[in-house]
Amino acid sequence: MPTAESDVYAARQQLERVLASAGFLRNERMARFLRFVVEQHLEGKDSEIKESVIAIEVFGRGADHDPSQDSIVRTEAGRLRARLAEYYAGEGKGDALVIELPKGGYAPVLHRPPAAPQTTGAPQTTNDDRKRHSKLGLILALAGIVVALGMTVWWRVQHTATPIGIAVLPLENLSHDPAEDYFADGLTDELIRNLSIIDGLSPRSRTSSFAFKGKPRNVREAGKELAADYILEGSVLRAGQRLRIDAQLIRVRDDFPIWSGKFDRELTDVFAIQDEISRGIVNNLRLTLGQGRRRYETSVEAYDLYLHARAFEILGGVGDNPPSIGFFEKAVARDPSFAPAYAGLAAAYAYTSATFPNLDHRDDQLAKMRAAAEKAIELDPLLAEGHASLGMARARDGQWEQSERSFRRAIELDRNRSNSYDDFATYLLLVLGRTEEALQQLRVAENIDPLSPEVQRYLGYVLTSAGRYDEAAGHCEKLPADADSRARSECLGRARLGQGRINEAIQVLATVGNRGYLGYAYARAGRREDAEKVAADVSPNPFNQALVFAGLGDKERTLDALERMDVLGPGRIGRALTYPEFAFVRSDPRIKVLRKKVGLPN
């Protein structure tokens, strides 16, 4: 196994590179298999990488698994070896590290690729050589035929096993009462989440689907923009205790409706209706339903409050004091066994506890965050968003190894949930300076959720931290330029600064509510008086002040301001230190002390 920390880091980077490749990205089982054996290897546990252990830990077999009766591990190991060989023959041909799974065992081997052989001259060829070469040529020709046949079979299997792209367009609220929009939006999100755990389906995430909310419906255009093969659309009408939902599944290429369902039930049947819609899609696409998402026997009142909270999140209502917190708290008060509400509550507290307006309530919020995250997992150990919220909570507390395990478990449970990749990238990987890995996770999120402004913003920020300003600007420009364009202006302004287009950056940043970046730009342009005025205006916000002082090149005041950010926890400090604005203070001894104080590794 790799012994040096740098070797382990390189191995993990290579693992993430392989798993982000086309051959592994959508094959959850194979990706889980490779990650398990490599992680065990890196932890020095080769002796524990046994067929029986893999069957239980990777493929969910019981403790009574009998390898002689069930060859799942051996079969999948053969496929994994072939997939790795294919990767290194193509996409990974130039990689500096090779991951192999030798035949006869399951412990991986990591090594550098062999150097190309050097030839110094043409040796003389004898008759015996020619005979050997002739036999070798025949063997290679036969082997080539076998390989070609094998690749044909492999292609057919992969072609038929490619996940089906499906998008759920926002359900239309037939009551036309804006106060009921939350219910239609929440049900849309729930349907997406229910479909996301079905093997063979690749649903587009909610933020991409909700880009079509309130717009005229053209199935072919929506399908093309969302890269979806099928579209689920419909309507919902709630009247008192009655609920009517109409839904139809449409094939994008020819606008052909392949399934439809009409449900006129009591409001208490909302979960059963969701199940029936999922089953109708699965049956008509000839898929296997599997275990699916757990069905919660919660009350109508608790579920209604939960949908209220989810609707605020769908529409981007996070902010420093998100209204979703109140609805999540009321939902768990109504039903203390409703795990998704606890997961949502924990994630909201993880965010708000690291914002300046909430400093007076920070300790209380942190305690509630931890309790809610742990409760979500206790109630439902297979809830992906529960593990993701626990990952956020642990990152907020600086428990990095535990946090990473939680995020990876969330992704393993639901590989179509783009938020898990977002949060993994921004709450842990970027914070720890693992910028390339953060980018890999965000690329996966972008593939799942191509129209998500949140994903584009994170890509812009991480690429800016990586010094790839042209690419960052491209993603920032994809953000909506609407009335609330702070995210776009801040993202694009920072990219322009990195590109050296300072005057243009000032014009862009002049519209931003966060004036710290504008003060930084003023300082970079030599407008010291304007920069000092901004520094006074943004007081006592230490982050914005640190930006202005950094632009002025004032190392001491920059460090003073960064040190005042320690109350916000390691996440805010770690992310800030990856920003190019603060590059000139990273090696200062005071930063080393600050990192240690908040729980960041040096």
Identify the H or E element spanning 12. Answer: helix 5-19
Q: What is the pLDDT of residue 98?
A: 93
Residues 177 and 259 placed together within one structural domain of the fold: yes
Share above pLDDT 70 across residues of the chain, in percent, rounded to a whole number: 85
168 and 282 fall within a common domain: yes
pLDDT value, residue 157: 36
* CB distance 425 to 442 below 8 Å: yes
Q: What's the rounded Cα separation, in Å, for the pair 97 and 549? A: 42
Do 329 and 310 lie in a common domain?
A: yes
* β-pair partners for 373: none
Instruction: Let me know whether 364 and 261 are in one domain.
Output: no
pLDDT at position 315: 64
Q: Of 268, 293, 318, which one is at a domain's C-terminal end? A: 293
Q: Total structural domains in the chain?
A: 3
Do residue 170 and residue 278 come from a single domain?
yes
User: What pLDDT does residue 117 have?
Assistant: 52
Check whether residue 311 and residue 405 sit in a common domain: yes
Count CB neighbours of 64 within 10 A.
6
pLDDT in tens, 383-392: 899 999 999 9
Q: What percent of the chain shows pLDDT beyond 90?
A: 36
Alpha helices in 20-71 (DSSP H): 22-25, 28-42, 51-57
pLDDT digits (tens, 9 = 90+) for 77-106: 988 998 898 888 888 888 889 999 998 889
pTM of the model: 0.66
Query: What does the pLDDT look like over 159-185, one tens digit per residue?
Result: 344 678 888 999 999 987 888 888 888
> For residue 577, is it within any domain?
no
Q: How many angstroms separate the Cα of 289 from the Cα of each of 192, 429, 578?
A: 15, 34, 43
What rounded mean pLDDT belongs to the chain?
83
Q: Do 206 and 241 lie in a common domain?
A: yes
Kindly report, residue by residue over 120-143, the tens digit of the pLDDT: 444 444 545 444 444 444 444 434
Q: Do 286 and 180 belong to one domain?
A: yes
Integer Cα distance of 589 and 601 in angstroms: 14
Of 386, 414, 442, the domain-final residue: 414
- The pLDDT confidence band at residue 149, using thresholds 50, 70 and 90, is very low
Residue 502 has pLDDT above 90, yes or no: yes
Report which of residues 6 and 434 the model is more confident about: 434
Confidence of residue 58 (pLDDT cuts 50, 70, 90): confident
Q: DSSP code of 65?
A: -
pLDDT of 19: 86
Q: How many helices (H) and strands (E) does the chain have?
A: 28, 8
Lowest mean pLDDT among 54-58, 230-234, 273-277: 273-277
In the predicted structure, residue 33 carries a pLDDT above the cut 80: yes
As a whole number of angstroms, the distance between CA 492 and CA 490 comes to 6
Q: Where are the alpha helices (DSSP H) in 109-242?
A: 127-161, 181-196, 206-209, 219-226
Asked whether the predicted pLDDT for residue 341 surpasses 90, the reply is yes
Does 242 reside within a domain? yes
- Tell me, yes or no, whether 21 lies in a domain: yes
Q: With the C-alpha atoms ordered 91, 97, 99, 104, is the resulting torsion angle positive or negative?
A: positive
pLDDT in tens, 252-307: 888 888 888 888 888 888 878 887 887 777 777 766 544 445 566 778 888 889 88
Do residues 309 and 252 both lie within one domain?
A: no
**pLDDT tens string 545-561:** 999 999 999 999 999 99
Task: Please tell me whether residues 278 and 191 are part of one structural domain.
Answer: yes
Question: What single DSSP character describes residue 124?
Answer: -
Q: Say yes or no: 269 and 323 in one domain.
A: no
Judge whether 202 lies within some domain: yes
User: Which amino acid belongs to residue 362?
Assistant: R
Closest CA to 274 of 340, 192, 344, 164: 192
**Domain shared by 81 and 188, yes or no:** no
Higher-confidence position of 410 and 288: 410
Inside any domain, residue 40: yes
Q: Is residue 28 part of a domain?
A: yes
CATH number of the structural domain spanning residue 225: 3.40.50.10610
How do residues 205-227 score in pLDDT, each as one tens digit?
A: 877 888 888 887 788 888 888 88
Q: Pick from 556, 550, 513: which is nearest to 535 by CA?
A: 550
Q: Is residue 489 part of a domain?
A: no
Closest to 205 measured CA to CA, from 488, 392, 453? 453
Q: pLDDT by residue (tens digit) across 195-207?
A: 887 777 888 887 7
146, part of any domain: no
Q: Which of 414, 443, 465 is the last residue of a domain?
A: 414
| Residues ≥6 apart with Cβ < 8 Å to 391 | 403, 404, 405, 406, 407, 410, 423, 424, 427, 428
Structural domain boundaries, residue 217: 164-293
Cα–Cα distance measured from residue 389 to residue 381, given in angstroms and rounded to the nearest whole number: 12
Please report the pLDDT score of residue 136 as a whole number.
43
CATH number of the domain that residue 334 is part of = 1.25.40.10
